[in-house]
Homo-oligomer: A and B are copies of this chain.
Amino acid sequence: MQYQFTVDGMTCGHCERAVVHAVRQVDTDAIVKVDLETKQVNVSSDKAARDAIANAIQEEGYKVLA
């Protein structure tokens, strides 16, 4: 499945890695692409549901806007 999220609060490469890491905690094989400028996080995952991914990102301290 392909998921797209708009995520607020990511400011730097550390944040990018933190979000990627958070998503990989719910699916170790997830492909995650982050665009800091547009706040877009694209996730390709065969295992994790959208809600689980969104929760993982929010638990890392970022706000999922959409």
In the assembled complex, the Cα of A18 lies from the Cα of B14 at a distance in Å of: 9
Name the distance in Å between A40's Cβ and chain B's nearest Cβ.
18
Nearest B residue to A11 via CB reads: B11
- Please tell me if A15 contacts chain B, counting CB pairs below 8 Å: yes
Q: Which residue of B lies closest to A16 (CB)?
A: B14
- Report the minimum CB–CB distance from A18 to chain B (whole Å): 7
Give every chain B residue within 8 A of A18 (Cβ-Cβ). Answer: 14
User: Is there a chain B Cβ closer than 8 Å to A65's Cβ?
Assistant: no
10 sample A-B contacts, Cβ–Cβ < 8 Å, listed by A number: A9-B12, A11-B11, A11-B12, A11-B15, A12-B12, A12-B14, A12-B15, A14-B14, A14-B15, A14-B18
